[in-house]
Structure 1
Amino acid sequence: MKLSTYTREFKENIQLAYPIILGMLGHTLVGIVDNVMVGKLGATELAAASLANSFVFIGMSLGIGFSTAITPLIAEADGENSLVKGRSVFHHGLVLCTILGFSLFGLIYIAKPLIVYMGQPKEVVALAKPFLDLVAFSLIPLIIFQGYKQFADGKGETKYAMWANLLCNVVHLLLNIVLIYGVWIFPKMGMMGAAVGTVISRCIMLIYIHFALKSKAKFQPYFDGFSLKGIGKSMTQKIISLGLPSAMQMFFEVALFTGAIWLCGTIGKTSQAANQIALTLATFTFMFVLGLSVAGTIRIGNQKGIGDFIKLRIVARSIFLLAIIVQGTFALLFVLLHNILPELFVNTENVLQLKDNAEVISIASNLMIIAAIFQISDGVQVVVLGALRGIQDVKIPMYITFVAYWVVGFPISIYLGNKARMGAIGVWIGLLAGLTVAALFLYLRFNKLSKKLIVHHHLD
């Protein structure tokens, strides 16, 4: 195949992906804004907020991972031009996301006492508990919102969620300002203000997307005839059988990076700070390929519905190629700027911490080089997962990601980080190994399955 066969698809890929990317960056911004504003209150508050947020982040990854099952099913129904099937997916998806939102909130609420055993300072734990309750509660509107979002995404309308996210961020920022510092008639609530801001802004985001979709003629028919009596076993099972493995895939990766934070914390505070810097930058670039991955799921789900498997493979490869170009560019920037980027995160004017800061910057600049190498692996594994989700293959990929991250990656991280005394750099070499193994085996899996689809289709 000529290169132009694939590059021709770039425009449509980017049009679908960019609103998703902006929305994803919006999700992460909520956390960053909290950290910056709570950080101004003091170190204890910041530690408490990040501790609570790390719990919620794991819950969020499970919820978002599960909801991604809706997208390929909607895209497939769209390709088949089946309103009945699409409506059924939408209604079942919303009910399941609602149940999941409440369950995750309940789980975190019950698991809250575990914070005490995480070896965190007492005063941090005391602040983290009430904060955790509220931020965990915000998972309910967030995951129900995901039900609407994945539905709209599956229909190829990715902008609604983007606008909802932007609205959420603006409201969140304003609420944080007035509630943390007690501006005008509002009470001064300190870090709890940030939590209240998160809950309210996420509720507004949910209300916005509900009415935005409902008022659009294209989506109107999907809202008709909703009743709990209509929720049946077979569609419920279909969504769960796609959603559960997708949630686990996302969980394995999030847990791997959370494990890296914990490992670096046991090595020392400069390693932990350096890890945080490199992770923030790697997460930022990851959102770009995550957006491409969703675009891949949508387009590949569509081609599956239409039954054009040759085109399906072309679309998939064009997404893989685009991901390599995007992440390759970021990798280059990471290498060129590996000494400069970490300085943005460290207060270089503070003379007392000069020695620590120099150490943090030197570790972080080494991590940037490893991060540069794993940009490609990270990009490939996530877009190939998206492609596999598009053809509704999620079980084997779940096992692949588990083995890659937890049988290959994390043990290497532990060994090199602690035993071989390579510190944070050793931990990151483990992450690189895990992501590379995942990328390779997921690609082989997709290659095999998509070839099979073409062959079977020709035999039919």
Structure 2
Amino acid sequence: MQIQNYTKEFKYNWQLAAPVMLGMLGHTFVSFVDNIMVGQLGTAELAAVSLGNSFMFIAMSLGIGFSTAITPLIAEADAEQNFKTGKSYFKHGLFLCTVLGVLLFLLVFFAKPLMYFMKQPDEVVALAIPYLDLVAVSLIPLIIFQGFKQFSDGLSMTKYPMYATLLGNLVNIVLNYMLIFGKFGMPELGIVGAAYGTLASRIIMVAHLWFLLKRNGNSRHYVSKIKFFVLERLMLKKIFNLGVPSAMQMFFEVAIFTAAIWLSGLLGKNPQAANQIALNLASMTFMVAMGLSVAAMIRVGNQKGLKRYRELRRIAFSIFLFGFIFAVGFAVLFLLFHNQLPKIYLDYNDVENALDNVEVLEIASKLLLVAAVFQISDSIQVLVLGALRGLQDVKVPMLLLFVAYWVVGFPVSWFLGKAEVYGSIGIWIGLLAGLTVAAILLYARFNYLTKKLISSNSD
């Protein structure tokens, strides 16, 4: 088949994915701003935010992963023009996201004592606990926001969540500046100020997205007159059965990156700070692949609803190709600027921490060389995973990801990440191994399923 059959989809794929990318980048940008501002306070504070956020990342992965079940269901109902079913999916999905947000907050809040048993630096733990107390509360509005976002994405209205996220970021930056450093008459709260900024920004994001959806003619009737506690057991079960494997998929990936944070902490505060810098930079570029993954989920879900399986496969492969091109571009960027990019996070006028900063820069620049390579594997696996979610195939991919990350990736990170072996670089080689195996296994699964659908059905 000619390459034009795939490239002609690039424009629409971009129109659909770009707002999602910006919205995803907005989530990561909250962490990016926190890291840059907190990094001015010292490497211990930066490591503390890293440790606190490692708990948050695990909880967020479960909530965000669960919420992705809403998008393909809404996309399929939208293609079938079935408003009643679509509204029911949204209501039940939002209810489950709200309950999950509260449960995740409680989980993180009561998991704090684990920090004392993780052999992390004492000064880092002392700083991380008050930060985590506040930022854990922000899980509730964040997961509710995800329920609205995934619904909006399912209707191909990807711009509204982007607008809400950008507003949230603006609020976060202003409050961080005021509360971390004590500007404009506000108290100087250090990293706790960053937690207040995050909480306030996420509450505003929910309110703004709901306001935008209420004003739009296509979504107004979905989000109005919701009988929130009038629930159907079968509908809850359907979303739960799709959401739990989706949550576990994201959990397995985020958990191995979180394990990398903890393994880095065993090496000391400077390796942990360097890991945070490299991870934050890699997360920024990964959001582009995440945006295209959502586009794959929406478009595959639409084609599934229309039962056009040849088109489904062609469109999916066009998104895979588009994402691969971006991944190669980011890989080149990391290779060329691996020494310059980490400098954004450090204050070179800080004489007291000068030696620490030099060590952090040296480690982070090496980690970006590994990150350059796994850009490609990471992009492919998340793109194919989005397409599989569009097919509502979640259970087998969940098992494949477990094998890739925890049977292959983590043992490599643990063994090679010891101080006497390769240290921080070894930890990231394990991440690369897990992501590469995940990309191969998920692609094989998608290829098998779509060929089976085409052979057993006629367009």
TM class, shorter-length: over 0.9
- Which residue of 2 is the match for residue 427 of structure 1? 427
Give the deviation of 1:4 after TM superposition. Answer: 0.3
Provide the C-alpha distance between the structure 2 equivalents of 1:397 and 1:224, rounded to a whole number of angstroms: 35
Secondary structure at the aligned position of 1:418 is classed as coil
204-213 vs 268-277, greater mean Cα deviation: 268-277
The aligned residue for residue 258 of structure 1 is 258
Q: Alpha carbons of 1:190 and 1:282: their partners in 2 closer, same or farther (altered >3 Å)? A: closer
Higher relative contact order (CA 8 A, sep 6+): 2
Matched, 1:391 2:391: yes
1:30-49 counterparts in 2 under 5 A? 30-49=30-49
For 1:21, give the aligned amino acid: M
Task: Please give the secondary structure, in 1, of the residue aligned with 2:338.
Answer: coil
Aligned pair count reads 459
Aligned to 1:26: 26
Q: Which amino acid aligns with 2:383?
A: V
Match for residue 226 of structure 1?
226
Inter-CA distance 180–352: structure 2 relative to 1 (3 Å threshold): closer
For the structure 1 residues 180 and 361, does the alpha-carbon distance in structure 2 shift closer, same or farther, using more than 3 Å as the test?
closer
Q: Deviations over 1:418-458 (max 9, x none)?
A: 28712222222221111111100100000000111112212
SS at match of 2:136: helix
Residue 73 of structure 2 is matched in structure 1 by 73
Work out the CA distance in 2 between the residues paired with 1:40 and 1:333. 25
Letter in 2 for 1:378: D
CA distance in 1: counterparts of 2:173 and 2:343, whole angstroms: 26
1:174-185 aligned within 5 A: 174-184=174-184
Q: Give the aligned partner of residue 326 of structure 2.
A: 326
CA gap of 1:225–1:382, structure 2 versus 1, over 3 A, is same
What is the distance in 1 between the residues matched to 2:423 and 2:310? 47
- The answer for the alignment partner of 1:413 in structure 2 is 413
Deviation of the 1:44 alpha carbon: 4.5
Residues 105-162 of structure 1, C-alpha deviations (whole Å, 9 max, x = no match)? 1111222222222234445434433322221111111110111110000000000000
Equivalent position of 2:54 in the other structure: 54
Larger displacement relative to structure 2 (380-389 or 176-185): 176-185
Q: SS at 1:137's partner residue?
A: coil
2:218 aligns to what SS in structure 1?
coil
Question: Would the alpha carbon gap of residues 363 and 45 (structure 1) be closer, same or farther in structure 2, given more than 3 Å must change?
Answer: closer
User: In structure 2, how many angstroms separate the alpha carbons of the residues matched to 1:66 and 1:407?
Assistant: 23
CA–CA distance in 2 between the matches of 1:160 and 1:67?
17
Paired position in structure 2 for 1:167: 167
Counterparts of residues 266-345 of structure 1 (less than 5 Å): 266-345=266-345
Q: Is the 8 A contact 2:46 2:273 kept in 1?
A: no
**Mapped pair 1:151 → 2:147:** no
Structure 1 186/424 Cα, relative in aligned 2: closer, same or farther at 3 Å? closer
Identity value in percent: 59
Q: Secondary structure at the match of 2:418?
A: helix
Preserved contact between residue 324 and residue 380 of structure 2 (Cα < 8 Å): yes
Go from structure 1 to structure 2 and tell me whether the alpha carbon gap of 1:372 and 1:80 turns closer, same or farther (over 3 Å shift): same
Unaligned regions of 5+ residues in structure 2, if any? Answer: none
1:345 Cα deviation after fit: 4.2
Counterpart residue number, 1:211: 211
Q: Which residue of 1 aligns with 2:89?
A: 89
- SS in structure 1 at match of 2:217: coil
Q: Write the distance in 1 (CA, Å) between the matches of 2:138 and 2:273.
A: 28
Q: CA RMSD in A?
A: 2.3
- The answer to whether the 8 Å contact 2:51/2:261 transfers is no
Give the CA deviation at 1:413: 1.7
Which amino acid in the other structure matches residue 252 of structure 1? F
- Which residue of structure 2 lines up, in the alignment, with residue 119 of structure 1? 119
Find the aligned partners of 1:367 and 1:182 in 2 and give their Cα distance. Answer: 34
**Residue in structure 2 matched with residue 140 of structure 1 by the alignment:** 140
Deviation readout 1:24-51 (Å, 9 max, x if unpaired): 1111121222233334445554443332
Structure 2 Cα separation of the partners of residues 267 and 110 of structure 1: 26
Matched residue type, 1:171:
V
1:213 counterpart letter in structure 2 = L
SS of residue paired to 1:226: coil
Once structures 1 and 2 are overlaid, which stretch shifts more, 253-262 or 126-135?
A: 126-135
Q: Structure 2 length normalisation: TM-score? A: 0.93
What is the deviation of 1:330?
1.0
Q: Contact (CA 8 Å) 2:50, 2:276: kept in 1 or not?
A: no
Could you list the per-position Cα deviations for residues 331-355 of structure 1 after superposition, in whole angstroms to 9, with x for gaps in the alignment? Answer: 1222233344344445556677776
Which deviations, in whole Å up to 9, do the C-alpha atoms of 1:213-272 show, x marking residues without a partner?
011111122134421453111111111111111111111111111112222332355543
Secondary structure of 2:417's counterpart equals helix
Seen in structure 2, the aligned counterparts of structure 1 residues 176 and 339 have a Cα distance that, compared at 3 Å, is closer
State the 1:167 CA deviation: 0.6
The separation in 2 between residues aligned to 1:180 and 1:367, in whole angstroms, is: 28
> Residue type matched to 1:307 in 2?
K
**What runs of 5+ residues in structure 1 fail to find an aligned partner?**
none
Aligned-partner SS, 1:230: coil
Asked if 1 retains the 8 angstrom alpha-carbon contact of 2:57 and 2:258, the reply is no
Q: Counterparts of 1:192 and 1:428 in 2: how far apart (Å)?
A: 30
Q: Give the TM-score of the pair, scaled to structure 1.
A: 0.93
Deviations 1:401-426 (A, max 9, x none): 11001101111122222287122222
Matched residue type, 1:231 = L
